[in-house]
Structure formats: C-alpha cells, structure tokens
Structure 1
Amino acid sequence: MTKFEDIFDFQGKYKYLAHIKDERKETLQEHTDLANIYFEKIVEYKNLKTFFERIKNILKLEDIEEELYYKMIYDVVNFHDFGKINSQFQINKMLNKEVLKMEDEYNISGVLGSDHSLLSASIFIRFYFRKILKLEDKKKKNLLQEILFSLSYCISKHHGNLEDFQEKYIDFIFNENTEEKSSVEKNVVELKKIFVSNGGILKDIETKGFTPKNIKNYKERRKDISSKEAMAIFTLTKMMFSLLIASDYYSTNEFMQEVKYENFGNMGDIDIIKKEYENSEIIKSIRNKKKNETLNNKDINTFRTKIFLEAEKNLEKNEDSNIFFLEAPTGSGKSNTALNLSLKLLDKNRRKIFYVYPFNTLVEQNMNTLKNIFGNNEEVIKNIAVVNSVTPLTNKDSADIPIEEYSDILMDRQFLNYPFIVTTHVGIFNTLVGNIKEDCMPFYQLANSVIVFDEIQAYKNIIWTEIIKILNSYAKLLNIKIIIMSATLPDLSYLLDEDEKNNVSNLIENRDEYFNNDIFKNRVKVNYDLLSEKKIEYEELLEHIIENSLNSPKILIEFISKNDAKEFYELCKNSEELNINREILILTGEDNKARRNSVIKKINNKSKKIILISTQLIEAGVDIDVDIGYKNISGLDNEEQFLGRINRSCKKSGKAYFFYLTDAKKVYRNSVIIENKLNLFSDEMKKVLENKKFDIFYSKVLEILKRKTKEKSNDNFEGIIFNKKFKLLKERMQLIEEQDDKKTYFFNRKLTDEEVEEIGENINGSEVWRKYVDILKEENYAKKIVELSKIREKMMYFLYEVKKNVELSYNDIKGSIIYIDDGDKYFTDGIYNGGNEDMFI
C-alpha cells in the first residue's frame, strides 16, 4: 500500500480535513488510515484474498505485474478521498479556515466545484499510469491499464452509482466527441498548482506518459481483452466498488458515532446450527430409515428420504462443482433437502447462506418452516434474517432504541450483515447485477457463500441466458456454491459454452425414477373436456363445477386475470348450489398478508369445505392442498406448478381441469413460452405434462433462447460485461417490469375480523398514516429509514395498486402514496371493489 507521505508533504503548514462533527475534526490522513483499517478488516473477515488471487491467476499476472496489481487494489481505498485537497471542498464543506490562508495559485478552483471524487480518481490514474507504461509485455500492460481505469472509476463514483464505464467515464475523461480539454487534462493543470515543487502539498508524482498517443494505444488494445478476462475485471470492479463504499461508510461512521465495528455478517459456530438440524425430528427420522433400511415404496416419505439421501451423496461426489440442480417432484421435500445440502456446504471459509424465493409470500412461509425445524434455539434463530421490502429492519420498540443504534441497524441491512438470509429473487438480483450504490454496497457479502434459488423458472425466460452466465461466472470467481431447485427445472447449462458446463452437476441422477412413480405421476388426473380454442363462458365453468366437483371438500379455480377472478367470485357467491355448507373465498395479489394467511388457514382446515378462486400467485409453492383444480391455461411450466397444489399429500385422488378464457399473452409479456404457444393446445405438450417429460418442453425453450442469443448483435451480454455497462445490465436483467401505469393508494379502512385475528391487534389506518407523515419529517436519516421500515409493515394492510386511469378522490398525498380517508366504501368483506379497470397479478 502506498504510504500517505508518498503522495503528500504537508510541511506542517496545512491541516486538510475529511469530516467534521460539532466541534470535532477528522483530518484527511486520519480518515484515510481508518478507511484502510476497515478495508483490511473486511478482506480478512470475508477471506477475500483468495478472490484477488483468482482474478490474478485468470489474468496471468506475475512478478512486477502482480506487484502492481495488488498495489492498485490496496490503494483504491487509500486514494479515494485524496481529492479532498480541493480547496473548494475544504472551504465550502469543511469550513476549513486554514485553507483560506493558502495562496491562490496553489488552490484548485472552478473545475469540479466542491467535488472530490473525480479529482481523487485523477490522482490515482496519474500515480499509476506511468508505472504501467514502463512494462514490456503489451498484453499485461493493457490488462493493468484496464484495471487502473476500472478502479479509478470506482473512486470517481464512490458517492454515486455505477453507470457506463466506456461512454460515461472513459470517453468523458479522454474527452471523446468534443474539442475541449478532457476532465483528466483539466485536473492535470489544476494538480500542477499544488505540487511540492511549487510550494504546495502534493508531491510531484509521475507527470509524463499521459499523452494522446498512449491513451490511443490503450483504447485500441482494449479489444484484445478476452471474454474471460473481461468478466474477471468486471467482477473485480464490482467487488472493489462494494469494498470501497463499505470501508468509507464504516470509517466515517466510527468518527461520527464513535463506535468501532468488528462483525460483518458471517456465521459464527456453524457446528451449532448443523447439530441442531441433525437433532430435529425430521432428520432423525431420515437417518433412522437409512440406518434400518425401512423403506416402503408406497409411502411418499420413502421417496422423500431417497431424494434427500441421493442428493446428499451426489453433492459429496461432485464437491468441485459450483452449481447444483435439484429437480424433484412437487411434495418430495425439496426445501428440506436443500437446507441439508446448504449446511453441508458450509465450512471454515464458506460461512453465509442466502435462501432465495420468488415472492414475499414464500419468504414468510419458509421462514416459518425454518423456525419449526430449529425450534426454540435462539442461538440459531438469531442468525436468520428476512430481507425484503415488507419486513421491518428491527422488531425493537422505538422507545428502546438509542439514537446512535439506528445507524447500526441501518448499516446491518445495507451491508447484509446477517449470517443466514431469507430473501426474494428481486432482492438477490439487485445485489448480483444492480448498479446503484445501495445495490452494490453488500456485493462483497456474496463471496464464500451458499445461495439456494427456489423456482428459478419463475424468472423472465428471455433473460435465462444472462442469468446462468452471470451465476456461473460469479460462482467460480467468488467461491459461491449455488443450489437451483424446482419441480420444473430447465437445464440452463445448455445455454453455457461447452467448456463452462463442467461446473454444473445434477443432484438427482435419474429423475424419471421419481417423476414416473405412481405416487407422483398419477397424483393428479388431468382432464381437457373444458379446453377448446373457443373462450369458455363463466356460466359454463360454473355449471361444470356444480355437476362434477361438489363432492370434493376443497376446490381451487385459477384465473390469470384479476378481473376474471373477481367476476367469477361474484357469480359463485350468488350461486345457491355452491353456497350449501361451503365457503367461497378469493385470493389475489391485492390481498395483504393477514387476509392471505387467513385464507390459506381456512383452505388447509380439514373440517371446512372451501372453494378458492385465485390468480396465478397460488402457483409458486404456496402451501395449500386441494382435491380438484380448474385453471386458465398459460405456459406448460405454470400448469405443472398449478398441479402441485392438488393432492400434495398423495393420499387421495386429485383431478385438474384446464380451460381457456383469457389469452396468456396479455399477462406474460416477453415470454418465449407464451409467444411460441408451448401450451396445452398442443398434443405434444399434453403428453409432456402427462409423462412429466419436461426436458422435451424445456429443450424447445432453451433452443429458442440460444438462437435469440446468436441473433443479438448490439449490447449483447458479452459486450455489456466488456464495456462494463452496469446500468444497462441492471435494466436488461430486471425480473419485474416497472409498473408505470399504476398509482399507490392508502385506503383508510376498517380491518375485517379475520385480519385482526391474524395480525393479533386491530390497526387504525388513520393513526398509521399520521405516524407515517411524522416519520417523513425525521431529520436523522438512519432513524427515518428504520422507522419507515417498521411503519411500512403496518401500512401494507392498507396499500393497494390502482391503474392510473382510475380517478379516486383523495385527502392527502405524500411522495408517491395517495391517502383516502373514507376507504371503507371501496371494500366489501376486505376485498377491493373500487374501479372496473383490470390489473393482472
């Protein structure tokens, strides 16, 4: 690491400041030293030296090249605030009277205002550019220059977001497409004013070499960087940006809050959680069956045990792989199997687990499962954290939180300082490929971890290629072990290059042994009597249910349009035949957590007769078990997920009817499955569903995706990585389309008795809104964010998304949330009835 005195010579004349608080001052040198301490702490804590070594080996850097590589890495944090010597920063931000005494010719003025980040980057570039230029190996010189500018980009952006390295940074600092001097050239002029030779404080670092010719040579040779090398440098850039932000945050917070930080979110004694898991009843039962070989092939638990043990065996056999596919039928115990596998993958270096689910409903559901498995062992439970948009950052009462503790709570969330994280697809992908500062902050936490993805086929299929490529690359570079599980699992390795496929292993060798067994294969009989290319009428569907299904206690009807679900619900509520000794329920994406949980409890109550009308949110793993199912067709993978809600226990005889009412193209936009009609209108797809041969179905999907990848020319995945187009990558890999046509309303309404019972208290909407408005006025940023996360949980019982073209009279508006005081008139039995516009959920 470059020493502070190698760059600066204060000569006892000036005290440059980095931070001030009240009467306390922190000098630039003090902050730099402290930031370096935190950088080294985190690198050691997260065992990131092996990551830097992997990057070095991929780039084949040795001797002097290797020395320069490590010096630049360790100098990123060192140099990040050197630009605070900018006199405008010192005068305007630090109120530094000492700087006012400096002679004008030594001041930096006008180029950057009071900014310091780009000036810091310029000093970093100038310090290393000439050193790299002296190297003889042109290839290594080119790689190190790419690293130099990438790391300087991190410095220039450490108070902002990563955008486009090529267009927004390289072209900018080299002043492409303009006749004016480049930003770096301007900084060169300004830097000369403060060299020691002129009586200033910045030592006369290498001033030669930064010429148009050398810059042109670098830009021309960039094309010689391979895809593998480009991915390595891309990942290094993301890592260093994350570490720089973390080191800066922790050191700044130590000065501001006078608190030291030592724990950065690894699992403590992993033997505790492993021992607790092995002592759980379900695992003792599995181990006992294995020991005594008491397997009954007519019992579903036999197959759950066999899948559990086979996956465990194949994990050990393929321990060098980084990505593992777990494909097993619905109801076969995948979640428990994956938990066992993830615990097996923990070791002295890998000490963090991420569990990733498609929706918040599944996050809550599986968190409850983990609590049941680990019982009341607080030592284990305290390590597990739910990280999503609806869970408070803390459950502590506000009165019990000292003001300085808010900062710690917020930082733990920002940097994911939790050993075992249960989160959503959107949450993890923000960290994986996000470009804004908040997304990138916890990126270093991915290193040396285990990530379990559930229902990955729920992602937009048009980005499956990008998903598997980024996961495969990160897995190798960051030492991540990834488990991908589903009952309908595409072989995403088909989308990788041949030399990359050996990184992937299947944990179930012969899937047909399980899928074609009668317990799973014939669990549900599929009927197509209602299916034709002519749209079905509500009355025809109702009549069929009355004539064929009323002897069954539990009936599920799934629509893919929320309006269809609501209209059919009203029809059913008015049917005398349906309402005899049974309850008619509806569940859509509008429903809050309390109502959703209440409905699920009712349908799982064995003594109740229920008809549940739902949208497709019911498909992805929601833990219900019905006897009969009706569904509007969409894609074949959706149909299998739907069948997974029928006869889950495999103890009865289930039946499913498919019909056509709404065209799936209205709902599933940009889906190659829907666009290519891979649905139940095809006899081939009917056979696939019947025989559970999803490899036939997915082979068609993957072939289409591979063809589309070859057709892409501009801004393909490799080009995005090569030019480090961080913002475009985030936009390209967005899992959920932005809903610009929606408005968020807060309806002040009276909660139903069922909601109150589920929540455990009666929440007053107007009081919640008043508290929300008060929190928005809070001046302490950390306290405001933490308190907003707590009130947000209560607000979710009153928040609804409504089409923009629906005009409702409102009483208040704060930010993007519109408040309606007389909200009860828009609801019937807890169900939103306002407006006639359809919303697809």
Structure 2
Amino acid sequence: MFDDLYAHIDQKDTSRKQTLHDHLYHTAAQCGRMGKEVVMEGMLFYVGLLHDCGKAKSSFQKKIRTNSKDRVDHSTYGGLLTLCFLDEVYSGLEGGNVDEAFASIVEKINEDIHVLIFLNDYAHLMAYAIMSHHGPYDMVRKNRENRYVYTSFERAEREKLSPEFEKDLDAFQAHWKREGIDLKKLFAEGFHEYINVAEKLNALAERTSDDIDEAMSFYQGMLARLVVSMLKSADIKDTINSYDTVIEEEDEAALRALVEDFEARILAAYAAYGPPKDGIARGRARIADAVLARSKADDCGIYTLDLPTGAGKTLLSLRYGVNQMKYRRKRRFFYITSYLSVLEQNAETMKKTLGHKDQVLEHHSNVVEDEEGETSRGAEDEKQDSVAAVQRQFLLGDWTSPVVLTTMVQFFNTLFKGKSANLTRFKSFINGVVVLDELQSLPTDVLYMMNLALNFMKTVMNTTVVLSTATQPAYGSMSLKHRLDYGDKNQKNTALVAVAEEDKKSFERAKVALLGRIDEEQSLDDVAAFVLSKEEKSRLVILNTKAAVRGLYDRLAEAMDAEDLYYLTTNLTAADRLARIDEIKTRLLTDDPICVVSTQLIEAGVDADFAMVVRSLTGIDSIVQARGRCNREGKRNEAYTYVVNMDRREENIAPLKGMGERKLAGRLILRNEEGEIAIEDFVSPYFEKLYANLKKDALSPVFDLLSKNPTKKDILLKSTPGAASLDGGILLEDGRVVNFFQSFKEAYEAFELIDDAQDVAVVLCEETEEVINLLRDMELGSARFDPKALKEARQMIRSLSRYTVPLPKKATNVCESILDGMVQVLPKEFYDKDFGLNLDYEGGIMM
C-alpha cells in the first residue's frame, strides 16, 4: 500500500517526490529525539507517526498527483485512530477482548480507578495534538448546525463515516507492524510516560496552588502546547527537507566547542576589569564570584538575581547562561527583557563579548508576518501544509540558535499565541536556561498565567529560569492563588546571591524626592519650567506616553539649542535609537549640557549617567530603575531623581495595558509622603498593594479559556442529551468521559501582552535599500523549494530587524508588500530621522 503513497510532490518537477512512509517516519524520529529530553519519547514518536496518516486517503493522493485545489482533511485520521484505541481500552475494562498491548493499561486502571482520568486526559491530549498540528481549535464549539459539540469527537465521527476508513486504518497499522512498529504498543508506552508527567504536575499543583483543578487544567493545556510544538517543528523541518537538505541536524560536538569558546571569551571580559579599585568595583567582584559558583552547580529551577542597579547584571546573566550550557549541558541560553532599549543595548554587549554573531539570534519582532489558519479544516490543512506556508515558517525562524536575545512580548507570544511560529518556538525552551530581565514590569492580569507557565517549564521542560531585577516582586506570596515554584527541585537555594549591606550602600548613588504632593497633578508646562530651572548640566525626563514625550520636547525646544535636546521613543528604529543613545553617552562623559526626553525605554539597562532625572509617576519598581540612570558612577556628592504626577489629560495612560494599576498602586503607597523619600522602603509594600486586589475580574479572560473554562463546560453539559457531571468532567450518554475543555483557538487569538494592534514595517532608507531591492526580486511563493534562495532570504531578513518600526494596522496601506506579501516596507517619506514614524494619516500626525 505505502509503496506508491506520497506526502509531497514538487509540482514544478514531479520526479521529485517524498513518500508518505518517509515523511511519517522521519517526523516521528525527530519528534522522538526531542521527546526523549523530557522523558516523553514514546508519546512524541507516536504523534509524529500518526500526524499525517490521513494522507493515505485516496482523495488526498488524487489531489497531490493532479495538483488540484481540492481541500482534503488529512489531520483528523490520526486523532480518530487514537480515540479508537481509547475505546478499545474501555471495552477491555468492561470485560471485552483487549489487545495484548493494552493489557498493562487495563491492569493499572483496575488497580487504581483514578488512572482512568489520566487515560482520558492522555488520549484527548494526543488526539488534539495530531488534529491541531495545522491550526489550534476549541475543545467545545458551535458546529455548522449551530449546536455545541465536543470538537475532537465531532471531527472523528465525521471521518469515521468515510467508506475507506476501516480499510485505510487497518492497512496503516499493518504497514507499520511489518516495519516492526506496533502502534497500540506505542500508545501504551506513551501512556505510562504521561502518567509520570501528570503525577509530577499534580504534586506541583498541590504545593503551589490553592485551586488544584484549575492549575492542572492549565498544565494540561501547556503539555498539549508542548507536544504540538515538537510535532510542528519536526513536520516543518522534514517538509522543508523533502527534496533537499535545507535545515541541517544539530551538531552536538560543534555546540560544545562553541560553548567552550564562549566561556573563554567571558573569562577574558572579566579579566579585563583588573583588580577592583573602589567600593562599587569590590561589590561587583563579590557578586560575580557568588554567581560564578552557582552557574556551575545549579540544576533546573526558578531562581532570583536580585541586584541593585549598576551591579553588572548583563555580563552576570551571560556568564550564568554560558556556564549552565557548559557545566549543566543546557542546549541554549535565552536573554529576555521587557524593554526594547535594554535588548538593543545588551544585545550589542553580549554579541561583542561572545563573538560568533551568526550563532546569536537577536529577535525584536517578526519582520515576516505569520498567518492564522483558516476556519475550514480542509482549508487549514491545505494552507498550512503548502510550500508557501513551510517556507514562511523557515523565514520566521525557530529559535534554534545557541543564544537567543528577545523581548518579553515575543516570549509571552511563544507561551500563549497560536500562530505557527509561536507554537514551534515553545519547544526551544526544553533543557534551556532563561534569564528574564525586569519581569516585574508585566501587566498583573497575566500573573497567574506566567507563574503556572514558568512552573511547567521548570517541572516538565527542565528549564532553568532566572528572574533578574533590582526590585524583586513577591510571586510566591501566599496571597496569590497560584504561586511561583521558587528554587531548585527541592524548593531550595532560591537567591543566586545575597548582597552584603556594605555593598548595597556602595550602589546607592542618588536620592529620590517627590515633586510636589503625589496627589497633585503637574502639567507639561510645569515640568518644562522645573527642568529649565535646574542647574544640573545633564538632565533626563522619563514620561509614560509618546504623546507626552513629544509635548515636553516641543516646550523645551523653545528654550534650548536643538543639538542639546534629544527625543527617544520606539517610533525610532532600533538602529537610530542606538545611534542616538551612543551620542548621548559620549556627551555625558564630557558633562555636556544636554537634556533627554524619553519614554521608559531608557530607564533600565542603559548605562547612562545623568546629573538629574525626572520620572513621571508609575510603579515603584520603575522609579527605582529610573534612579539607576542618576549619578550612576557616583561622581557627584548629591544627585536627585524627582517623581512627578502628570496631568492625566496630557499624559493619557488609559490605552497602556497595566499602567493604570501600577500608577494607582504607586500613588496609594506614596500619597502620605512629601519631599525626599527612601524609595527602597516602598518596594515590598508596593507589590503587596499591586497584587492584593488580584481578583478574578482583574485577570486576563484568556486564563479561564486555557484552564477549566467553566463556561464552555457548562454549555456542553446542558446542550448534550444524557450528559452528567463527573468529578469536574462530563460523562456522556455512551459512557465516554471528557474533562478537557480549553478554548485554545479563542485564547490564542485573544492573548495580547500589551494592547498593541500593530504590524511591523521595514523602513526604506540608505542602510536597507540594497537588501530590500534584492528581496523584491525574489520569488519564494512558487510551488518549488529553492534551498539557496530560502537561506539567502532568511539571512537578509534578519539583517533588517534593526530598521523596523511598529505600524498601526489601519496605516499599513501606505506600505509596499514584498517577498510575496511577507514583508512590509515603509516608504522614506513616512519616516523622520528626528522623530521616527511620521504618518500623515487622515489629516493628523500619528505619534
């Protein structure tokens, strides 16, 4: 049967073919290799082998041979077979004949009836992973007849009506049995692996969550995402390699040699500092020694790196990550930060330190736009399995570089968005080390999702996570329903370093004072007058919105020389921001009389030393960060960071997700204070205040959709004849049990870390024009793979990342689409070197 069945045929050269056997086996083997690292080798080999078994259907073979536009659902067959295996086990439990391969499952359930819950969860998870590998779906949804159904069952039952079904699946099993692979035995082996994972997660939930069922439902969804991630990655890789080797296998020996060189370069960087000469340098040296020891010894866990600003976190983070890769055999190091400016600055430092820039991926945003799947299952399979789709995935990148430097938005999209690139990247955290820099700035509505996701990564994915900040939030507070599982596997050794009191004092180089009472709002005119009245030569003002930054800049420009006044927001490309920051830092060294007006992009990670800082009121953590830009090198006897409560009409923070809650908590904490304050005393009370009111209505609705999802469960229960509640699940009339109700598609589409309905455009300028012209001439959307063109396009696209700007979706019509619509190019006239993105849209300037 399988001798003349194909998974892929090059429609431009039909002599180039890949058999269905080869595609399924290669995908399964790749899945198994990834699964082995998380002790789920059998589970992953199983889903890899079954993911495209629907391509054995005669309708699909006719389609691929004739290159027809017919839409054929080829992703449901494997899920259907999995549910058939579940029915066979049920039959055995009821006294019927049971295949020898399932005997161990039946025996285990007879010993402990609770194992039946695990079996149901396992089968539905595996069926979902196979059925959703071309696009996520909601477990409960309305069908075309406007009736609520359990999606996996409905799809399986529709496929079961095919007259070919029995013959196809019997032939499918017989083929693999001849190859020495028993699918039922694989199913059973995978189930025993699943039990071990589920039991670890259950113990985790009991330890860290007040609502164990909610936590377990969320963990089940994360496990489904992980399996899908590995399956999609393997499928895309083998599809790209159908006719030529485009994506090479990872070379373990080469990786280890690279890590050795990384370590040598970091040692050289530390040696270049020489012996410490003052209190700050001695403090940095003691901290570096403590982190060095932990970097070699730590097993996977969730750790804190709680350091004052100026303690050298960037190099410490890099050293910790590289040493974990060498001494704990971690596969890759991720540095993730909340701020673009921090990423841009620290990426430069890390690349310079490590060398091997081709092995260090700096990912700001997707230059290539990913696409959502379509509604129709046949259309989704057709679209996501196409040549154009897999080429798009290759161009988007899979985070397989040894070192990945990216933003918190990209990190959370990888955890909770449903686009193909987000899903495939998730598995890259397996056996990795992740430094999350300034995590405390996240919107509080995603707090529980974050805690549970990090717990999952530590427990299942063997990920080491480091929370690096000068203001460590209390994510393990007993006031939280779902707490972070701090420490190693035994919940010990949470802090990487304990900073001595004398070292803390050496890092305190600026004072904080309130500009007026905190309940009194100040106008932009008031702030401008205050800044101009000060005698300090170098002044930094950080405001919460781009509009406020521009408003203050314009006011100051009336009284200052243009060359001494600087504007910084994300409307500028990364390249222009970096150039401007470099110029600012150079002028600070000579104590020039300059003033910088910026959004918060400059308040963390930028090694700049201003004589005075003004910070618009926000969270206490951001005020501490802003103070870190004031008298950073301790050269002045006295320096101040001033906190001002801006007029809400001139600084409208309402559209900024989470900003309102942070500003309110900051204002309530400081409302009885005036003049000079000891800002460190307010950090812990601030976080307690911020999290104290974290009630259900303050959480992202996505959290419910990815956990118990009671609304959809109740709808299914009430709309299904003969259904009854059973231990948090539903017992159907035919005896089947379901307790897997997540709305994955709805959640993935709804999730946004920040309210940011924007696309990304590459600015056409002198630095990008040559590459853009080359991409204009490329044709990748044809039905044939061109490995050389793909690799060239990928490298060129990466080179454009620092010349992009966020663009409102309603303004994308001003752009030119190139590379078959994958890349948007912003014409020169819409970009201003002084102020960045400058769209004259519907009669107004969009800032």
The question of 1:526 aligning with 2:484 is answered no
Identify the residue that residue 646 of structure 1 maps to in structure 2. Answer: 630
Q: Aligned letter for 1:327?
A: D
The separation in 1 between residues aligned to 2:73 and 2:806, in whole angstroms, is 41
Deviation of the 1:658 alpha carbon: 2.7
Q: 1:280 to 1:174 in 2, by over 3 A?
A: farther
Matched, 1:366 2:351: no
What 5-or-longer segments of structure 2 have no aligned partner?
Answer: 93-105, 176-181, 185-201, 203-210, 370-386, 710-738
Deviation (angstroms), 1:37: 3.2
* Preserved CA contact (<8 Å) 1:250 1:261: no
Sort the Cα spacing of 1:272 and 1:226 in 2 relative to 1 into closer, same or farther, 3 A: same
CA offset digits 1:488-542 (Å, max 9, x no partner):
220212236579456374426655826851x333x11233345564443444433
1:787 is aligned, of 790, 793, 797, to 793
- The 3 A distance-change label for structure 1 pair 686 and 534 is closer
Hey, what's the Cα distance between the residues in 1 that align with 2:674 and 2:745? Answer: 38
1:27 is the counterpart of 2:19 = yes
Quick one: which of 268, 274, 278 aligns to 1:280? 268
- Correspondences of 1:100-249 after superposition (within 5 Å): 114-131=72-89, 133-134=91-92, 135=106, 136-137=109-110, 138-158=113-133, 160-167=134-141, 177=149, 182-190=154-162, 195=167, 226=213, 230=217, 233-249=220-236
State the partner residue of 2:48.
77
Alignment of structure 1 residues 499-518 onto 2, 5 Å: 500=485, 503=491, 505-507=493-495, 513=501, 517=505
Structure 2 counterpart of 1:355: 335
Higher relative contact order (CA 8 A, sep 6+): 2
Instruction: Identify the residue that residue 647 of structure 2 maps to in structure 1.
Output: 662
Q: Aligned runs of 1:537-576 on 2, under 5 Å? A: 537-549=523-535, 552-575=536-559
Aligned letter for 2:672? D
Write the letter of the residue equivalent to 1:299: G
Once residues 156 and 448 of structure 2 are traced to their aligned partners in structure 1, the CA distance between those partners, rounded to angstroms, is: 38
Query: Could you say what secondary structure the match of 1:563 adopts?
Result: helix
Structure 1 residue aligned with 2:471, among 480, 488, 505? 488
Distance 1:832 1:479, change over 3 A: closer
Tell me the distance in 2 between the aligned counterparts of 1:529 and 1:682. 12
- Determine helix, strand or coil for the equivalent of 1:594: helix
Paired amino acid for 1:703: A
Percentage identity across paired residues of the two chains: 19
Aligned partner letter, 1:474 = M
Deviations 1:761-789 (A, max 9, x none): x4486x77766654578536774796387
* Aligned residue type for 1:188: K
**Is 1:337 aligned with 2:328?**
no
Are the counterparts in 1 of residues 761 and 815 from structure 2 also a CA contact under 8 Å?
no
Q: What secondary structure sits across from 1:325 in the alignment?
A: strand
1:579 corresponds to 2:579:
no
Contact 1:321–1:504 (CA<8 Å) still a contact in 2?
A: no
Distance apart, 1:484 and its partner CA: 0.7
Amino acid at match of 1:131: V
Rg larger for: 1
2:428 is aligned with 1:449? no
Deviation at 1:822, TM superposition (A): 7.6
Alignment of 1:252-651 (within 5 A): 252-257=239-244, 261-263=248-250, 267-269=255-257, 272-273=260-261, 275-277=263-265, 279-283=267-271, 299-312=279-292, 319=298, 322-346=301-325, 347=327, 349-374=329-354, 378=356, 381-389=357-365, 411=394, 414-494=397-477, 495=480, 500=485, 503=491, 505-507=493-495, 513=501, 517=505, 519-521=506-508, 523-530=509-516, 533-549=519-535, 552-575=536-559, 578-579=560-561, 583-605=564-586, 606-607=589-590, 608-651=592-635
After superposition, the C-alpha distances for 1:716-769 in whole angstroms (9 at most, x for unaligned) are: 764259534333544565322232xx6878887xx7xxxxxxxxxx4486x777
Q: Could you tell me how far apart the structure 2 residues matched to 1:811 and 1:662 are?
A: 35
Q: Offset of 1:362 from its aligned partner?
A: 2.4
The alpha-carbon deviation at position 331 of structure 1 amounts to 0.6
Cα deviation for residue 657 of structure 1 reads 2.4
Is the 1:746–1:800 Cα contact (8 Å) retained in structure 2?
Answer: no
Asked whether the 8 Å contact 1:174–1:183 carries over to 2, the reply is no
**Taking structure 1 as reference, are residues 620 and 51 closer, same or farther at Cα in structure 2, changes over 3 Å only?**
farther
1:823 is aligned to 2:826: no
Deviation digits for residues 120-141 of structure 1 (CA, Å, limit 9, x no counterpart) = 3213322453035422433223
Task: Provide the residue aligned with 2:59 in structure 1.
Answer: 88
**Is the contact between residue 302 and residue 485 of structure 2 (CA under 8 Å) also seen in structure 1?**
no
Q: 3-state DSSP class of the match of 2:642?
A: strand
- Residue 590 of structure 1: CA displacement? 1.0
2:199 is aligned to none
Q: State the alpha-carbon separation in 2 of the partners of residues 591 and 496 from structure 1.
A: 40
Contact 2:522 2:647 in 1 (8 A): no
Shift of 1:162: 1.9
Q: 1:811 to 1:41 in 2, by over 3 A?
A: closer
Question: 1:83, 1:117 within 8 Å by CA — same for their partners in 2?
Answer: yes
Is the Cα–Cα contact under 8 Å of residues 513 and 677 in structure 2 kept in the other structure?
no
- Letter of the structure 2 residue corresponding to residue 558 of structure 1: I
**Deviations for 1:148-183, whole angstroms, at most 9, x for unmatched residues?**
12112221122x222323448xx9999855999944
Label 1:303 to 1:434 Cα distance change in 2 as closer, same or farther (>3 A). Answer: same
Deviation of the 1:604 alpha carbon: 1.1
Question: CA separation in 1, counterparts of 2:168 and 2:544?
Answer: 71
Contact 1:635 1:679 in 2 (8 A): no
CA distance in 1, matches of 2:780, 2:151: 47
Q: Distance in 1 between matches of 2:152 and 2:695?
A: 44
Aligned to 2:671: 682
For the 8 Å contact 1:18–1:27, the answer to whether it is kept is yes
Measured after TM superposition, the shift of residue 453 of structure 1 is 0.6
Does 1:38 find its partner at 2:22?
A: no
Tell me, yes or no, if the aligned pair for 1:628 and 1:656 is still in contact at 8 Å.
yes
SS where residue 625 of structure 1 aligns?
coil
3-state secondary structure, aligned to 1:453 = strand
Structure-2 separation of matches of 1:228 and 1:20: 44
In the superposition, relative to structure 1, how do residues 122 and 599 fare at CA in structure 2: closer, same or farther (>3 Å)?
Answer: same
CA contact (8 A) 1:130 1:206 kept: no
Whether the 8 Å CA contact 2:54–2:77 is kept in 1: the answer is yes
Could you tell me whether the CA contact under 8 Å between 1:267 and 1:420 is conserved in 2? Answer: no
Asked if 2 retains the 8 angstrom alpha-carbon contact of 1:810 and 1:820, the reply is: yes
- How many correspondences in the alignment? 727
CA–CA distance in 2 between the matches of 1:270 and 1:772? 31
TM-score of the pair, normalised by structure 1 = 0.74
| 2:720 aligned partner | none
Q: Normalised by the size of structure 2, how large is the TM-score?
A: 0.74
What's the CA shift for 1:566? 2.0
Could you tell me how far apart the structure 1 residues matched to 2:126 and 2:291 are? 41
Give the whole-Å Cα distance in 2 for the aligned partners of 1:123 and 1:326: 48
Structure 1 residues 677, 640: closer, same or farther in 2, change over 3 A?
closer
Deviations 1:460-483 (A, max 9, x none): 122122211210122111111100
Change (3 A) 1:554 1:140: same
- Name the amino acid aligned to 1:190: S
Partner SS, residue 123 of structure 1: helix
Q: AA paired with 2:623?
A: E
Q: Is the 2:537–2:594 Cα contact (8 Å) retained in structure 1?
A: yes
The Cα of 1:41 is off from its aligned counterpart by 4.1
Return the letter of the residue paired with 2:75: S
* CA offsets 1:608-652 (integer angstroms, 9 cap, x no match): 331112222222323322111123222222222211111111222
Give the Cα–Cα distance (whole angstroms) in 1 for the partners of residues 145 and 81 of structure 2.
13
Verify the 8 A CA contact 1:323 1:505 in the aligned structure 2.
Answer: no
Q: 2: CA distance between counterparts of 1:711 and 1:35?
A: 36
